[in-house]
Amino acid sequence: MAEYGRVYPGPVDPDEKGEARLDQITAELETLEREMETEDLEDEAYRALYAKVDDLEAEARDLQEAYSPEDLARSGVIATWSNGQVTCHVGLVRPEDKAASSESNPEPAMNGTGAGESDEISYPASLTDDLKTERAMALGAAMAMHPEATLDLTLFKLVTDVLGHGMSVTHAIKVDARQEYRSHAKREEIDGTSLDQVAEAHDALDLSWADEAKSPADQFALFRALDAGEKAKLVAYATAATTQPCLTRDRQHDSLMHDFEAEIMPDIRAHWTPNAALFNRFKKAWLLKILGEELGLAQEAVTLASSTKKEVVAFCDKLFAEPFATLTDAQREAVAIWCPPMMQTSGSEKADAATDARGEEPPVAEAA
């Protein structure tokens, strides 16, 4: 069915009854979210509340989305039988109907999975801000794992900030003896790779000098006695904690960090992996587009189109956590390098490969 097009429900204005129900749903969601913030909430109770939130959000989407009359007229359903189960694939458009529609009404353009322009992937400001935070965490992990290079960067910035007549060489790190606080809407759900790497770097630090029972002068004397390699690890770990929320560097605006990132973090996927926390924030149509067009899994995208968003998210989460043995070499490479645009290190081979696979970069919403 990969040759079939597909149509999806579009936004509609609900009637008076629908508006009233939307208001009720909004109030119920606010109540559930407050309950989910209870610190001593059991895991099972939290999952039950999360399921209720999913159901209410799905109901709200149903009230605000519907197939257009034109799409209803040209699309249909195909039922398939597999493993003793019947699966209905809704919204499929036959190849000849898809071609006829393109000739008579070229806009909106259809992509390989049948998604229209309204399904083009975009990144809302809230998600963009969180991706900046996750990228800063990945960069911090890379810094902690490259102590010699990070020591040079730290000393260079410290010296040039003082001697450079007020012109900072970069704002990507904040060397002022203060750990940077990083906000994130879903902190407890994000990929833990960078956190694990930073924790491992911390465990490798020589903290024998950091005895609070000793005076600062005595601590300093012990610190000075450390060999250069141990000092580099300490400075790198401290600097790693100051990375600022960021997306891909523009060499024209920050050549220092652009080149430094290319050296220590040529592939962000070594420090960060897309997971359900990210996929949950995408529309189902976006996930299908990513699977079909950017990962080369067109048949899987067609099959999953009749699944719930939760099922599509679970599929993507498993795919990236442990790529399936059935993937082709090209599909496996696409999964290995995929990340949202502006997350990969600029100018790296991985970034170029991801751009080639994706084609034209999707729009990134500016932060509010």
Residue 117 pLDDT: 46
Q: Which amino acid is at 43?
A: D
For the chain, percent of residues with pLDDT exceeding 70:
80
> Against a cut of 0.75, is the pTM above it?
no
**Per-domain residue ranges for the chain?**
1-106, 138-245
pLDDT (mean) for 141-160 = 85
Rounded CA separation 292/240 (Å): 37
Place of tokens 């012109």: 167
- Residue-averaged pLDDT of the chain: 81
Instruction: Answer with the residue of higher pLDDT: 144 or 123.
Output: 144
For the chain, percent of residues with pLDDT exceeding 90:
30
**Which tokens belong to 290?**
């990513």
79 pairs with which residues across the strands?
A: 88
Rounded CA separation 364/297 (Å): 24
Contacts of 166 (CB under 8 A, 6+ apart): none
What are the phi and psi torsion angles at 86 (to 5°)?
-100, 130
Closest Cα to residue 261, out of 284, 243, 285, 234?
Answer: 243
Q: What DSSP letter does each residue of 71-84 carry, written as one string?
A: HHHH-EEEEEEETT
Contacts of 269 (CB under 8 A, 6+ apart): 336, 337, 339, 344, 350
Choose the most confident range, by mean pLDDT, from 32-46, 86-100, 105-119, 123-137: 123-137
Residue 41 pLDDT: 74
Residue 159 pLDDT: 64
Q: What is the pLDDT of residues 199-208, one digit of tens each?
A: 999 999 999 9
Instruction: Answer with the residue of higher pLDDT: 195 or 173.
Output: 195
253 pLDDT more than 50:
yes
pLDDT (mean) for 22-26 = 90
DSSP code at position 307: S
Q: What is the pLDDT of residues 329-341, one digit of tens each?
A: 999 999 999 999 8
362 pLDDT more than 50:
no
8 pLDDT more than 90:
no
Sign of the torsion formed by the C-alpha atoms of 355, 360, 362 and 368: positive
Q: How far is C-alpha 43 from the geometric centre of its chain's CA atoms?
A: 25
pLDDT (mean) for 160-184 = 63
Closest Cα to residue 248, out of 120, 354, 327?
Answer: 354
Q: How confident is the model at residue 96 (pLDDT cuts 50, 70, 90)?
A: confident
> Helices H, strands E: what count in the chain?
16, 5
Rounded CA separation 240/150 (Å): 8
Instruction: Answer with the residue of higher pLDDT: 143 or 357.
Output: 143
Residue 179 pLDDT: 60
